[in-house]
Structure 1
Amino acid sequence: MDFNEHTAAQAVQDSFRNTPDARLRDLLDALTRHLHAFVRETKPSIKEWEEAIGFLTAVGQACTDTRQEFVLLSDVLGVSMLVETLNEHEGGTESTVLGPFHMVESPQRALGDTIDLVGEAEPCVVSGRVLDTDGAPLPNAEVDVWQCDENGFYDVQRPGVQPAGNGRGLFHTDTEGRFNFRTVIPSHYPIPTDGPIGRLLEATGRHPYRPAHIHFIVRADGHTPLTTHVFVAGSPYLDSDAVFAVKQSLIVDFTESNDKEAASRNNVQAPFRHAEFDLVLSREADR
């Protein structure tokens, strides 16, 4: 076959025809069709294509053990959220992006422990239940939590300022499916802008900010794992999240409480902030 702009895509698709894995063959076929269509439509110059390759190379070079620039690229292009949305299961809590900062293992903590190892801000209690779609509690469910501090930084971003594991915790629900922990209210913050993704946002006139949120990954035997956020009601950028991750059902009030009995029960001083919500997992059979 003569290789030209009209035959190029088919030639590449044909080269994958004998791929043993049918799913991989379908993915490569679709990727080839859409990528070649993009190139035919936009007609990039050789210089522009070299710059595109250079950009992707820089994205890879920016990745470290504590930073995932390719996840960030997927996030700012809305692809991460699209994949999450396409894989959601009816009846469960809505999912959202993993984000680039789930790079270290969360330390095991007991229910009621604090994940704030610095203790410089207004105390906050987060509590709730892990349930199945019928409303039954899920005991011993794993609740992995991570968040930035009140200044908008994760521990891996400021290793000389925050102790390792600050803002992170791995909890297990009690016999009634309940979880609770102490923390601080996270701040809104900019995604890292000192790399190629930051340059992309600057070039396109987009802001880099995310609204305040706490990350969760929840797992229970026989149920589909859930990756989600809880967003702080009233936070800036709820309507323009740089990674398109906000869903209305995930916005939660962090209300102020002066209840001294509740403060004592949760080992904090009044006044304190309190957020309470349920996290619902769908059964694997419901997929």
Structure 2
Amino acid sequence: MSVKIFDKPEIQDFLMVLSGLDKPGGNPRMKQIVHRIMSDLFKAIDDLDITPDEYWTGIAWLNELGASGQAGLISPGLGLDHFLDERLDAIDEELGIKNNTPRTIEGPLYVAGAPVSEGFARLDDGTDANGHTLIMYGTVYGSDGKPLPGATVEVWHCDTRGFYSHFDPTGKQAPFNMRRTIVADAKGCYKFQSIVPHGYGVPPGSPTEQLLSALGRHGQRPAHIHFFIGADGHRKLTTQINIAGDPLVNDDFAYATRDGLVPAVTERTDETSIRANNLNGPFAEIEFDVHLTALVNGVDNQINELRKRAAA
């Protein structure tokens, strides 16, 4: 239809009212954001001739999304998390900051309070019968290129069924299974033993899958391992690595794959390597060094305090 009402003065006045810009008090920043978002939504309804039926279908979907707790899942699925990373990259470029280890999305399944280990940690509890042993290690470097003893490496990943501890619908996993915080040793090195994780998909029939299907997209992720890495005088890095060889490395519904975050996986079958790691058989090996960046004028200009979570 050709009917357009967005530009009418009374509609523009209405946007000022509903966002509180016509009144004192309240939060000025919130008013600004709500005014912009509602203006864009009103204009989209006008330009696309969105019908009341389509609108209320969307509202019902939002209700289902909230009830299922999947806002943090659809956010990366719609590219919002990746867009935020791209903006942070652009801000860093303007500041002259080079990120030798790229940032990428956190995802919604971090849990604070994982057990702390010095230098080395065993992540898995050995109960995943389908698990292929993984040894992963690396060095954390500071902005001056030197190793950072005492750097903290928080790591978490899923099991071979694609489930994370604390979010496992089967209840099979113990608390903090495949979650640890490793304090880098005197040489700035970290190392852990676990199992190679598998990729996974969004819950079947969920609001997230419904939307992705309507867009002609899948909801699958490649196998990956999450990290938070921090050290005194440096900005906290949020990143994750993909398992090389996974067919979805370059087709991640969450758009987390980035150059420099797909380290090689080496299969070790020789007795020397097996004995050196106190193992009983072949294992996969990944080396992944991390380069942190310095604080900006003494401040971590990218940390998001509100993403902190209490242990489930």
Aligned residue in 2 for 1:73: 74
Aligned residue in 2 for 1:98: 106
Matches for 1:149-160 after TM superposition, within 5 Å: 149-155=159-165, 156-160=167-171
Q: Residue 16 of structure 1 aligns to a residue in which SS?
A: coil
Match of 1:126 among 108, 123, 136: 136
Q: Residue 110 of structure 2 aligns to a residue in which SS?
A: coil
Distance in 2, matches of 1:195 and 1:264, equals: 46
Cα 1:268–1:119, aligned 2, differ >3 Å: closer, same or farther? farther
Listed as ranges, the gaps of 5+ residues in structure 1 are 64-68
Matches for 1:144-223 after TM superposition, within 5 Å: 144-155=154-165, 156-223=167-234
8 Å Cα contact 1:188/1:212 also seen in 2: yes
Aligned residue in 2 for 1:115: 123
Aligned residue in 2 for 1:140: 150
Aligned residue in 2 for 1:66: none
1:62 aligns with 2:74: no
Q: Which amino acid letter does the alignment assign opposite residue 144 of structure 1?
A: E
Shift of the alpha carbon at 1:171?
Answer: 1.1
CA offsets per residue over residues 205-255 of structure 1, 9 Å max, x none? 311110111011112222211111111111011121111111121011111
Equivalent pairs, count: 279
Distance in 2, matches of 1:277 and 1:86, equals: 25
Q: Residue 35 of structure 1 aligns to a residue in which SS?
A: helix
Aligned residue in 2 for 1:46: 52
CA RMSD of aligned residues (A): 2.2
Q: TM-score, normalization: structure 2?
A: 0.81
Q: Which amino acid letter does the alignment assign opposite residue 87 of structure 1?
A: L
Distance in 2, matches of 1:269 and 1:54, equals: 53
**Identity level (%):** 29
Q: Residue 38 of structure 1 aligns to a residue in which SS?
A: helix
8 Å Cα contact 1:9/1:36 also seen in 2: no
8 Å Cα contact 2:228/2:237 also seen in 1: yes
Aligned residue in 1 for 2:291: 280
Distance in 2, matches of 1:61 and 1:204, equals: 22
Q: Residue 157 of structure 1 aligns to a residue in which SS?
A: coil
Shift of the alpha carbon at 1:82?
Answer: 0.6
Match of 2:253 among 237, 242, 248: 242
Greater Cα offset, 119-128 or 106-115: 106-115
CA offsets per residue over residues 105-141 of structure 1, 9 Å max, x none? 4232343221111253221101011112331222211
Cα 1:189–1:86, aligned 2, differ >3 Å: closer, same or farther? same
CA offsets per residue over residues 157-202 of structure 1, 9 Å max, x none? 2453222222111111112211000011111211223421122122
Q: Residue 263 of structure 1 aligns to a residue in which SS?
A: helix
8 Å Cα contact 2:140/2:147 also seen in 1: yes
Greater Cα offset, 269-278 or 72-81: 269-278
Aligned residue in 2 for 1:231: 242
Distance in 1, matches of 2:249 and 2:77, equals: 15
Cα 1:144–1:159, aligned 2, differ >3 Å: closer, same or farther? farther
Q: Which amino acid letter does the alignment assign opposite residue 235 of structure 2?
A: T
